[in-house]
Chain A
Amino acid sequence: MKDWPLYEVFIRSKNGLNHKHVGSLHASDAHMAIQNARDVYTRRTEGVSIWVVEAKHITASNPDDKESLFDPAEDKVYRHPTFYELPNALKHM
């Protein structure tokens, strides 16, 4: 069981919301990863849907590129819709 691959787990907590990364676990295959995720991450009714993906299939940005990737957005406040008032009926924004 030491050579079981690592899976990243995403849970949708309610219909209409998006799947969120909740953690990772080991499993022999994707199907078992779903079962494990069900037992490890949805014991307290946290979810209505589970995605798992083998961690090796995720390409991540390099922390060293942080400045070039993210800093340029910092002084562009006009990209945020902060000047609008959101209607009360709109949730999860």
Chain B
Amino acid sequence: MLQTLVSGLESGSWFALLGLAIVVVMKAADVPNFAMADIGLVATYVGISLAGAGVPFWLAVVTTLVTGILLGVVIDVALMRRLAKYGHFPLLLMTIGLSLALTALTGLVWGHDPRSFRAPWTGAAIEVGGGVAIGVSQIVSIVVGLLGAVAISAFFTTPVGAQMRAVAENRATARLVGVNAGRLSAIAWGVGGLIAAVTVMLQAQSALVSTLTPASLIIYGFVAATMGGFTSLFGTFAGGLVLGIIQQLVGTYISTAAQFSVALLVVFLVLVLRPDGFTKGMRLRDV
């Protein structure tokens, strides 16, 4: 039971982080980014290759993060920005096309075999008594996930973060006030790429990743983002964790085949019952 819970929290942390990456881009750039997990995968594969070539672990990690940021910014500046004035549909389609191309490109360059990003602690475990052991990499995922969520929340209270919240609330008025929406969107894509790189890297240091990873990860990321109403950071994070635990419980006690359907059901229920995210009411009461 404890093992199930920890595994749920671990995968939940990945979902939560990717959901946060989606929300950041949605807030500032008003695009649902279907290529988010692919960006993370490409960045992680770059890191894995470097580590495999003998580059020190932490340097490989930093390179992965930088790759994620650069990918995000370049995509925004080169592809997305000029489409913004044509409405939602081309933007949505562009991220889908990008996702297809990036996944395939990854397969072409690195192949389709699953890989892992070996960290110094990979394989180590902590005995918690009763014969139950928890992997260090699981703890790393959960702790980094938590820190990431705190960091993103802190980011949104900085002046740039406040500008993003303003853009999210009313893009037109924000521009009237002098907010440079193009610059904000590039920053958001960079931050999104960074978080996506962290997410896939966390998964790779604990389990295996392959070109199949983005397809499911992105759906779970969107489920988490939906649970936060695409705006609430707390709702997205909590949503991701809850989803991870539900998935793990369904997988353990019902069947792994049902996991995906359960996730879809969650999206539908949230959107129908609480289109603004399931923490919306709570937040209002706090105020």
On whether the two chains bind one another, the answer is: no
A-binding residues in B (CB < 8 A): none
